[in-house]
Structure 1
Amino acid sequence: MAKAVKIVEEFIAARKPRLIATANAEMVMMAQNDCELKKILNNADLVVPDGAGVVWAAKYSGELIPERVAGFDLVQQILRKAAKNNYRIYFFGGAPGIAEQAKTWAETNYAGVKIVGVRNGFFASDDEPRIINEIKSSNPDVLLVALGVPKQEKWLAQNIAQLGVPIAIGVGGTFDVMAGVVNRAPIWMQRANLEWLYRLLSQPQRALRMLALPRFVLKVMSFKKH
Structure 2
Amino acid sequence: MFLSEDEALWQAPQRFEPMFAGAFPTVTIGGMPIAALSIGETVAMMLRAARERPRGYRPLYLTSANGEVVSRYHDDPAIATLFDQADMINADGQPLVMASRILCDQPLPERVATTDLFEPMAAAASREGLSFYFFGATEEENRKAVATVRERFPRLRIAGRSHGFLRGEELARKIEEIDALAPDILWLALGVPREQAFVVAWSSRLRNVGMIKTSGGLFNFLSGTNSRAPRWMQKVGLEWAYRTWLEPRRLFWRYLVTNPKALVHIIRRSQ
Per the normalisation by structure 2, the TM-score is: 0.78
Tell me the residue number matched to 1:15.
54
Tell me the residue number matched to 1:97.
140
- C-alpha separation in 1, matches of 2:261 and 2:231: 27
- C-alpha separation in 1, matches of 2:42 and 2:132: 18
- C-alpha separation in 2, matches of 1:23 and 1:180: 23
Tell me the residue number matched to 2:44.
6
Instruction: Indicate the RMSD between aligned Cα atoms, in angstroms.
Output: 1.7
> Do residues 210 (structure 1) and 255 (structure 2) align?
yes
Tell me the residue number matched to 2:166.
123
**Structure 2: which 5+ runs fail to align?**
1-38
Tell me the residue number matched to 1:190.
234
- C-alpha separation in 1, matches of 2:135 and 2:184: 14
State the identity %.
28
Find the residue that maps to 1:149 and give its secondary structure: coil
Quick one: higher RCO (CA 8 Å, sep 6+), 1 or 2?
A: 2
Aligned 1:1-226 pairs, distance under 5 A: 1-13=39-51, 14-16=53-55, 17-62=59-104, 63-164=106-207, 165-205=209-249, 206-211=251-256, 212-223=258-269
Offset of residue 223 of structure 1: 3.8
Worse-superposed segment, 36-45 or 100-109: 36-45
- C-alpha separation in 1, matches of 2:87 and 2:142: 25
**Structure 1: which 5+ runs fail to align?**
none
Aligned residue type for 2:245: L
Aligned residue type for 1:216: A
Find the residue that maps to 2:97 and give its secondary structure: helix
Per the normalisation by structure 1, the TM-score is: 0.93
Higher helix share: 1
Aligned residue type for 1:98: E
Write out per-residue CA displacement over residues 121-146 of structure 1, whole angstroms, 9 at most, x where no aligned residue.
Answer: 11223322111012112220000011
Deviation >6 Å, runs of 4+: none
